[in-house]
């Protein structure tokens, strides 16, 4: 980066840090409870909730990983974004009312109230392991990969920088995270759109034309195969995105688990009133519609230019192999002075916001659902906050050590989706049946909790050629059936399960949400119709 780039990035860093400090001083002085610290109970507005959801979701996984998948797979990878937005709205419609009405603060708390402490503890441990060893680690790895290529600093130095920056924000609590995420989202959206604009203009210029419209048209002409959302069975990447299975199968297991049963995401809305939380989720869902423009199109642009002779060295790893995950960093290298710093700031904002949100969720689950229950039930609120901060520090330290181990991956986004998918089917089955079937009981939930990882691993071993999204769908159906059967067989022996307190009126949305939902579905249908 040049001097102007460094100044732009420094301005971003100072702005986020100063705003975070002001929020901490103004809103966190005299924090009274651990739920206030971890959930910012009642103090986040709808726009802060929506921005925080997107800032936590859009990370290096999207900027680097999905650009890499865009390079290799094309626009089809956008299904994760577009269907994710629809899942967000469905969660707001059907799951948030139950969480908020029953005063659920953590996902293990829901499991405790519904199925008892044993199921909750098992799942809490699973979540912590996945959050630390898959999510935090991959976010750090992908972020540092690009920071290294832009800054010239060593990979491990970049990992430490990102971890420390995130730590400073996280230790201030959810209020600081939530409101600084507003700045992070503005930076990442503007910076991302600028990068896409310049990528399309670069494509147009390379082929003797000008303008982003011409560039986008050239992408269709030069890489028509990269603009199909649904792959046929003979497509070389069918194993990554299995055709209609995307719309009708395991993708929904991944989405419902991620957006509705995931402390990392739902935590932003759990401290708000239902109307505010729904408005925030609707705002986030709308932002998801434009995310492929930011995180997928640049990867397709690099693919087109690479096929025509550009980015030959930039796309190679140490072994001389083409590495799709390097497409975004290769593109950023060609940006003009100043704009390179803005794109760098956008990427850093995405990485830091996701790290902060994930680490805060780790601290929440560890302190409220494990430490308080098994170590010190009478712990003071101040002690729980301290334990949460220690858990945050420890989790980031582990991720810093583990991040370099991911350098052998081809597409990190597929790694993340596949291995979080080992617990997604079980979580989805337990939560959906727990919410909407009063007959679900502790014994059925316990069987599912214990079998979700072994059964997913067995399917991967027995059917190595089966697309992992299809595998998730089949495992979900088997686990849901097992939970129903076990619950029916043991219902007379078990009376501890408590149904959720909810009524049909809880699911009735307001007119604004209804209008937004209809517009979203219409836009989504149009996109799939055009790019089927």
**pLDDT tens-digit map of 183-203:** 777 777 887 888 888 889 989
- Residues 163-175, mean pLDDT to the nearest whole number: 77
Q: What is the pLDDT of residue 9?
A: 81
Largest CA distance in the chain: 75
pLDDT over 90 at 397, yes or no: yes
Q: What is the pLDDT of residue 42?
A: 58
For residue 302, give every residue at least 6 positions away whose Cβ sits within 8 Å of its Cβ, in sequence order, or none: 67, 71, 199, 311, 315, 327, 328, 330, 331
**SS3 label, residue 210:** coil
Neighbour-count burial of 496, counting CB atoms closer than 10 A to its CB (0-12 exposed, 13-18 middle, 19+ buried): exposed
Please list, residue by residue across 12-46, b when 16 or more beta carbons sit within 10 angstroms of its beta carbon and e when fewer do.
Answer: beeebeeebeebbeebbeebeebbbbbbbbebbeb
Domain range list for the chain = 3-11+44-412
* Bridge partners of residue 316, in order along the sequence: 322
| Range scoring the smallest mean pLDDT among 146-155, 366-375, 407-416 | 407-416
**pLDDT tens-digit map of 70-113:** 888 888 888 888 999 999 999 999 988 888 888 887 888 888 88
- Are 367 and 387 contacting, i.e. CB atoms less than 8 angstroms apart? yes
Q: What is the pLDDT of residue 423?
A: 84
CB atoms under 10 Å from CB of 113, counted, come to 18
Q: What is the pLDDT of residue 60?
A: 63
Tokens standing for residue 205: 């210029």
Q: What is the pLDDT of residue 430?
A: 94
Q: Which CATH architecture has domain 3-11+44-412?
A: Up-down Bundle (1.20)
């Amino acid at each position: 980066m040049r001097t102007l780039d460094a100044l732009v990035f420094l301005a971003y860093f100072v702005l986020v840090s100063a705003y975070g400090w002001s929020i901490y001083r103004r809103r966190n002085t005299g924090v009274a409870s651990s739920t206030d610290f971890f959930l910012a109970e009642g103090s986040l507005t709808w726009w802060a909730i929506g921005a925080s959801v997107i800032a936590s979701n859009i990370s290096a996984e999207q900027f680097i990983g999905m650009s890499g998948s865009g390079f290799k797979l094309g626009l089809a990878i956008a299904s994760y974004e577009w269907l994710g937005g629809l899942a967000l709205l469905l969660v707001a419609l059907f799951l948030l009312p139950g969480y908020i009405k029953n005063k659920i603060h953590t996902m293990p708390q829901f499991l405790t109230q519904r199925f008892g402490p044993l199921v909750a503890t098992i799942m809490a441990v699973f979540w912590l392991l996945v959050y630390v060893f898959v999510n935090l680690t991959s976010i750090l790895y992908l972020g540092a990969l690009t920071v290294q290529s832009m800054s010239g600093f060593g990979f491990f130095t970049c990992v430490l920088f990102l971890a420390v920056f995130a730590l400073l924000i996280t230790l201030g609590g959810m209020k600081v995270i939530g409101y600084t995420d507003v700045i992070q989202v503005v930076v990442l959206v503007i910076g991302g759109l600028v990068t896409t604009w310049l990528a399309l203009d670069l494509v147009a210029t390379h082929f003797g034309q000008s303008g982003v419209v011409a560039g986008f048209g050239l992408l269709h002409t030069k890489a028509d195969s990269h603009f199909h959302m649904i792959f046929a069975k003979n497509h070389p990447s069918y194993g990554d995105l299995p055709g209609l299975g995307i719309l009708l199968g395991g993708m929904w297991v991944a989405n419902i688990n991620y957006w509705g049963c995931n402390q990392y995401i739902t935590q932003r809305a759990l401290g708000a009133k239902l109307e505010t939380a729904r408005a925030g989720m609707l705002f986030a869902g709308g932002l998801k519609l434009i995310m492929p423009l930011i995180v997928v199109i640049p990867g397709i642009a690099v693919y087109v230019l690479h096929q025509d002779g550009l980015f030959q060295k930039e796309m190679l790893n140490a072994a001389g192999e083409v590495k799709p995950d390097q497409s975004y960093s290769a593109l950023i290298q060609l940006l003009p002075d100043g704009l390179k710093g803005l794109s760098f700031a956008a990427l850093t904002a995405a990485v830091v916001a996701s790290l902060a949100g994930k680490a805060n969720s780790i601290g929440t689950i560890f302190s409220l659902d494990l430490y308080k229950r098994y170590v010190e039930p009478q712990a003071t609120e101040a002690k729980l906050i301290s334990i949460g901060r220690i858990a945050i520090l420890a989790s980031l330290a582990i991720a810093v050590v583990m991040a370099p181990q991911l350098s052998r991956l081809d597409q990190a986004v597929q790694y993340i989706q596949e291995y979080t998918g080992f617990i997604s089917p079980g979580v989805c089955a337990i939560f959906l049946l727990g919410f909407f079937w009063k007959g679900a009981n502790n014994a059925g939930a316990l069987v599912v909790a214990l079998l979700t990882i072994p059964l997913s691993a067995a399917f991967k071993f027995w059917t190595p050629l089966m697309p992992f999204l299809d595998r998730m769908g089949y495992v979900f159906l088997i686990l849901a059936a097992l939970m129903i059967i076990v619950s029916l067989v043991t219902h007379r022996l078990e009376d501890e399960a408590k149904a959720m307190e909810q009524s049909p009126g809880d699911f009735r949305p307001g007119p604004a949400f209804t209008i937004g939902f209809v517009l979203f579905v219409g836009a989504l249908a149009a996109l799939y119709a055009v790019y089927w």
